Each structure stands twice: as C-alpha cells, then as structure tokens.
Amino acid sequence: MKTLFFLLALINVALFMWEYKAGAFIPGSETSEQNADVGQEQIQLVSELKNVPQALTPAPASEQPLAENTSIDTANKSASIPELLPATSENLVKQALEQSTATVPNKSNADKTEAHCFEVGPFATTNIYQTWVTQLKDIESEIKSINRDGKVVNNYIVYYPAAETQIQSEENIKKLRNHGLKDFWILNGEDKGKISLGLFTTEESALAMKNELLAKGINAEVKAQYKTKSQKYAVVKGNGKLVDRLDVLKKTYPELSVKQIADDTQGCW
C-alpha cells in the first residue's frame, strides 16, 4: 500500500509540474480554454503566453499623443482625398475634350476649303453670261462655259379651243367674225381644230390680248411654243466662298438655275 501511495503522489507531482510549465496557472489561460471549449482549435506557443502580460500593459503616456497625432493626420489625409478627386476628374474631362477638339476638324473651315462644282444657266445672251462672270472675279474660282441644246420659248400663241364637231367649229368661226376678228386660222397637227388668234414674242402681250377678247365674251387661251436651241451654261468650281456668292447671285439672276454636280460630270475639274 505504501508503494501504491508513493506512486500516486509522484504522479500528482509530475502532473502539477507539467501543468505549471504549460501555463495553466498564468492569467489569460482561462480565455484560451474557453475558446477551445467553444470549438475553435487554437495552438499557442510559450513565447506568445509570455507576451500576454506585455500586451495587457497600457502604453506609456508619452506615446499616446503620437498615436493621436497619427490618427488625426490619417483622418486629414482621408478627408482631403475626396476634395482632390473632382478636380482630377475635371482635368481628365478637359484634357479629353481638348484632344477631341484637336483631332476633329472645324466643320465651317472644312466647308470653306472643300471644293464644290456647280452648273449655272442657261444664259439668254452672251452679255448676261459675261456680266455674271464678273461677279466672281474677287473670289477664288475656276469657270468655263459649255453649250448644250435645249428647248426655249419661241413664241406665245393666243387660240380659241377646238370644237368637238365640224358643225361646232363652223359656229365658232362665225362667232369670231361677228366680233370683228378676221386674222385667224385653223391649226393642224397636235393642235388640230384650235383657232389661232395671234402670235406674240412675250407672254405679257399674249395675256393682254386674252383679256381684250374676254371683255368681248370670247374665252381664249394662251400657250407657249418651244424650239430647240443651243444654250450657254457656266461650270464653276470653288470653295465655300463660291457657295456663299452663288446664293447672293440667285437674287440678282432668279432666271438662272444653280445645280451642284459631281467633279467628274460635265467636265468639272
């Protein structure tokens, strides 16, 4: 029995010494045991256990202001960052706009330098053409004249409409003679059956006679007759200033048509 008691006492002493070395009697060990009980597997070194008292020791008073200053500086820096971001964004946007403006050409300047080709006419006479050309001498442009056949007004005819029957045509002739008209004739071709009452070189003169006949109770009509004639046109090439000048000349020469054409059409160079 003595031997058994001695062995038990020896075992208790050995267990006590092992727990002492393991830090079972050092403050903070209970926290480690509680964490282990919760289910968190944790291994602590002896060196970490020795540093526990130092971690719990409050820092000297001389070091606390330094920590406060550091936190204040960090707060100031973090507060200043949002103020700098808008300015930086504005600078980036400004630089992007400047680059885009530099790369994209000015549309108005491009229009001023881009070449345009126009056909203007027809000119009724050579004098009108020459007078029109002089209006472009003060701007940079190239002009050449071309001739093209086209239909022009030959005269204006005042006529009485064609009758549907021969009997009606004879009655119309009798009616005209009763109103004192003698110089008239019956037309053929595409105007067959119409009775011509006169030819005039201007539309104004033809309309004047129509109104005189209407006063006598005769409803006459006016029609322009055409012929084929060679007509003069101007082919002009220039920049945006030419376009502006042609717009002005349209008011002075409303009878002239202005048509833009491709560079390879009608010999425009």
Asked if 144 contacts 267 with a C-beta cutoff of 8 angstroms, the reply is yes
Highest mean pLDDT among 100-104, 183-187, 204-208, 242-246: 204-208
Alpha helices (runs of H) in the chain, residue ranges in sequence order: 2-21, 29-38, 46-56, 64-103, 107-113, 126-134, 166-178, 203-215, 240-252
* Residue pLDDT, tens place only, 111-153: 445 678 999 999 989 999 999 999 998 988 889 999 989 888 9
Of 248, 24, 253, 237, the residue nearest 125 (C-alpha): 253
Asked if 253 contacts 118 with a C-beta cutoff of 8 angstroms, the reply is no
- How many other β-carbons are positioned within 10 Å of the β-carbon of residue 67? 10
Q: In whole angstroms, give the CA distance from residue 241 to residue 169.
A: 61
Q: In whole angstroms, give the CA distance from residue 60 to residue 71.
A: 17
Q: Which of 19-23, 25-29, 261-265 has the lowest mean pLDDT?
A: 25-29
Give 31's Cβ-side CA count (13 Å radius): 6
Q: In whole angstroms, give the CA distance from residue 241 to residue 137.
A: 12
- How many other β-carbons are positioned within 10 Å of the β-carbon of residue 48? 13
Q: Report the SS3 class of residue 62.
A: helix
What does each C-alpha distance from 171 to 53, 66, 91, 259 come to in angstroms?
A: 141, 128, 94, 50
Q: Report the pLDDT value the prediction gives residue 261, as an integer from 0 to 100.
A: 84
- The answer, yes or no, to whether the previous bond of 53 is cis (omega within 30 of 0) is no
Asked if 241 contacts 136 with a C-beta cutoff of 8 angstroms, the reply is no
* Residue pLDDT, tens place only, 43-82: 555 555 555 444 444 555 444 444 444 444 554 554 444 4
Q: Report the pLDDT value the prediction gives residue 120, as an integer from 0 to 100.
A: 94
Question: Which residues contact residue 29 at a Cβ distance below 8 angstroms, ignoring those fewer than 6 apart?
Answer: 23, 49
Q: Report the pLDDT value the prediction gives residue 111, as an integer from 0 to 100.
A: 47
* Domain edges within the chain: 2-56, 116-260
